Amino acid sequence: MRLRLSVPRVWSLSVVAVLSPLLLAAPAQAQGAPWTVVASPNATPGNNDLAAVATVSASDAWAVGSAEDSLGNDQLLAEHWDGTAWTIVRTPTVVTGDLSALAAISSNDVWAGGSMLLSARGNTAQFAHWNGRKWTIAKSPATTAGISGMAAVSSTDVWAVGSIVSGFIAQTFIEHWNGKSWAIVPSPNNGTGSNLLNAVTAVSANDVWAVGQFQDAANTPQTLTEHWNGSSWSIVTSPSAGAEFLGAAAVTSSDVWAVGLTGGTTLVEHWNGSNWAVVPSPNPAGAVGNLLFGIAVVSANDIWAVGESQNASGIPSTLIEQWNGTSWSVVASPSPGSAASLRGAAADPTSGQAWAVGNFRSPSGADQTLIEFNP
């Protein structure tokens, strides 16, 4: 499976470098309606991948990613759910680019972020905007940074996080939309090694979390959590050496979750308003590499995390886990094709519906879009 990354990573996420010998057996599956595959289109005969999903309502959701054109270049891919079916919505043509993050405010105000080369002259952009009629490229500070996560407080308060490479070192990168323009906001880095931010979640205008990873002096990855208090970003200590956060979601200011991987096992941590702590999370029996890419909140007692579980050959299948207010458990999820991965999740608290998106390997050998649904 291809994993789209805007900047070099400290290690590959498709083949976990450190494999834990102690893998937990999967507990009994949570009860409830099953996850099912919902038909989703592909824009080209080449590789098609979905990286992020966001909901406005039960009948208004977006998924974004990339589709490989006939020249082998990635093009922006956006798909929309109208309550009945997913359809491709036209996006601007670029030299090459992908969309890896979403923030949906309303039916006519949706932001997507990623990395785009707009022309052979080298001008780049990170954002596309949906105004209810069409997608357009939005002006942003001139930089070669890539966006990995987005979150919105309101139409005039949107955050985007990612990384920017300086020499051979990646550094944190944060931008903010104030309703008129995007601007870079200073963000700290831990140590002298690479720092990356992969996801962001917002509770309020003065309570925003960004998560990712940094390298310590021994080049060991460590979890990275940063907090916005309304004035500045600061690093907040979180446990887990040899670990990385890939997704985050907030319920309240004292109920925030971050997910990722540590060695070859899933990682889930929780913020209780005072500190971050590891919460036990299961790993399917027999798997040698498990990771959680995304997390979505229906309610405090109904949270979904999605990712992939790799077999001894490194081939991934879909992985979905659920928090019931007491513990995390593995929930059965379809895993079509010869390999499959879920990269992003979103939920509609009003209806209780949840979505997960990613890709699967088709018989032709090409990656195809994958969308799964829980009613």
Give 213-264 as a DSSP string: EEE-TTS-EEEEEEEE-SS-EEEE----BTEEEEEEEEEETTEEEEEEEETT
Nearest Cα residue to 115 out of 51, 193, 190, 210: 51
CA distance 299 to 271: 16
* 175, burial (CB in 10 Å: exposed 0-12, middle 13-18, buried 19+): buried
CA distance 75 to 73: 6
Task: Print pLDDT tens along the chain (375 aa).
Answer: 444 333 323 333 322 222 222 223 333 344 578 999 999 999 999 999 999 999 999 999 999 999 999 999 999 999 999 999 999 999 999 999 999 999 999 999 999 999 999 988 888 999 999 999 999 999 899 788 999 999 999 999 999 999 999 888 999 999 999 999 999 999 999 999 999 999 999 999 999 999 999 999 888 999 999 999 999 999 999 998 899 999 999 999 999 999 999 989 999 999 999 999 999 999 998 899 999 999 999 999 999 999 999 999 999 999 999 999 999 999 999 999 999 999 999 999 999 999 999 999 999 999 999 999 999
All domains in the chain, ordered by first residue: 36-374 (2.120.10.80)
Nearest Cα residue to 126 out of 135, 173, 137: 137
Nearest Cα residue to 42 out of 100, 83, 88, 76: 88
- From residue 97, alpha-carbon distances to 46, 199, 314, 326, 370 in Å are 15, 19, 27, 41, 20
